[in-house]
Homo-oligomer: A and B are copies of this chain.
Amino acid sequence: MSKITFIGAGSSVFAKNILGDVMQTPALQGFELALFDIDLERLKDSEQMLLNLKKTSNSTCTIKSYTDRKDALRGAKYIVNAIQVGGYDPCTITDFEIPKKYGLRQTIADTIGIGGIFRNLRTIPVMLDIARDINEVCPDALFLNYTNPMAVLTNAMITYGGVNTVGLCHSVQVCVPELFKSLDIDTTGVKWNIAGINHMAWLLDVSKDGVDLYPEIKRRALQKQAEKHPDMVRFEMMLKFGYYITESSEHNAEYHPYFIKRNYPELIERFNIPLDEYPRRCVEQIEKWKTMREELVNNVNLEHHRSHEYASYIFEAMETDIPFKIGGNVMNTGGLIANLPREACVEVPCLVDRNGVQPTYIGNLPPQLAALNRTNINTQLLTLEAAVTQKKEHIYHAAMLDPHTSAELSMDDIVAMCDDLIEAHGDWLPQYK
């Protein structure tokens, strides 16, 4: 019996999406769905929810909870990772509150930026620990990483964990549909191509019957910018740099030095930037869980419609050998994106079939897009360097290379802020030298 292991299964909503999808996929019937979480209560909730779904889906998959991670992983063919280390309280609070003292404001803090750096630093050791388990009990498994910060964690799992990993995010598949919806354009027959790095991949080409749609997209976007809307940062980036980005405006606001600027406080209003968005969402979700729990866990009529998350489609393609295309995060080995560093993790179209995830070759990005990617890759690679060498100086380097952090703070403030964050993390971080 083949086995899919879900690490972090206590994330019930996400587990519902991924494993609910799996239970509706004919080629995956009969699989064991192995659940693991360090939060046993949430684990049990998810198990119960999935048992409900199993019935309403008429699935022959087996649902099983594990309290030992290695047992959960043993013999797995596929692994889905959705862990979060440190949680909202205390770690996310720390990620936002300490920088705020230095005048550094953030929106999401899960990719790069000072929050992204520390999210990586506390997550990488756990990931490499999982990698050690995998190498022991299921070395051939395919590891689907959904945990953020995507690029660095995926890089760590491949480069230092030695695990067959692809990083997944749904920003690629919803990019054009949502953009077109927001601009009221029909997507029928539209061709698009996306590549770059996670959360900053580029809609390189969008056309229909050989006609470039960008001029019309930009015309409508410019019009739309006249009024407030939730995607203003991304539109502005497109209007300035020529290409649309996969990740949302609230994310992109902090990837660049252009939007959250103490010298230009009016930009927050003008570009409709939701500072502290992520902690606000966390609080809401925690609140919402109380009612949602009822709907999910104790609802014997719980239903599910197959989502657009890649996981079940990847498993299906690997089981059936019917090709499926994803935007996957893989190492830039050999220079798939020729003008980005080889040691970076990139997001490129990948072919999936029985041979697994096979990245395609892209070549050069337009130079301004490669340049923007490189500013973020700088911080990514230095964060990874910090995590694997456990040298404090590389944490400072990562922060000093972050475009937003370095635009706002002096080097001394950056160092002091990092030291404060290290101290506040306590045992959530290993000892740095």
Contacts and interface: CB of A to CB of B under 8 A. Distances in A.
Contacts of A381: 367, 371
Interface in A252-266: 256-258, 261-264
Contacts of A353: 325
Interface stretch (A12-20, A59-67, A332-340): A332-340
A400 B259 CA distance: 12
A396 interface: yes
A25 interface: no
Interface string A308-346: 000000000000010111000000011110110111000
Contacts of A135: none
B367 A385 contact: yes
A94 interface: no
Contacts of A406: 256-258, 403, 407
Copies of this chain = 4
Contact of A378 (B335, B374, B393, B410): B374
A74 interface: no
Contact of A261 (B193, B372, B385, B410): B410
A310 to B, nearest CB: 13
Interface stretch (A44-52, A155-163, A178-186, A355-363): A355-363
Contacts of A385: 367-368
Contact of A368 (B341, B359, B401): B401
Interface string A352-390: 011100111101000110111011011101100100000
Interface string A207-227: 000100000000000000000
Given A371-B401, A406-B258, A339 B334 contact: no
Given A401-B371, A411-B240, A323 B323 contact: yes
Contacts of A351: 323, 325, 349, 351, 358, 360
A193 B338 CA distance: 25
Contacts of A350: 360
A282 interface: no
A191 interface: yes
A205 interface: yes
B263 A408 contact: yes
Given A339-B341, A350-B360, A351-B358, 8 more contacts: A240-B411, A240-B415, A333-B363, A334-B336, A334-B338, A367-B397, A368-B401, A371-B397
19 contacts: A191-B321, A205-B355, A240-B396, A241-B400, A242-B393, A258-B410, A264-B410, A323-B323, A325-B353, A333-B363, A336-B361, A338-B342, A339-B341, A339-B343, A358-B361, A368-B394, A375-B378, A407-B407, A407-B408
7 closest A-B pairs by beta carbon, nearest first, are A407-B407, A371-B378, A351-B351, A191-B354, A358-B360, A368-B397, A323-B323
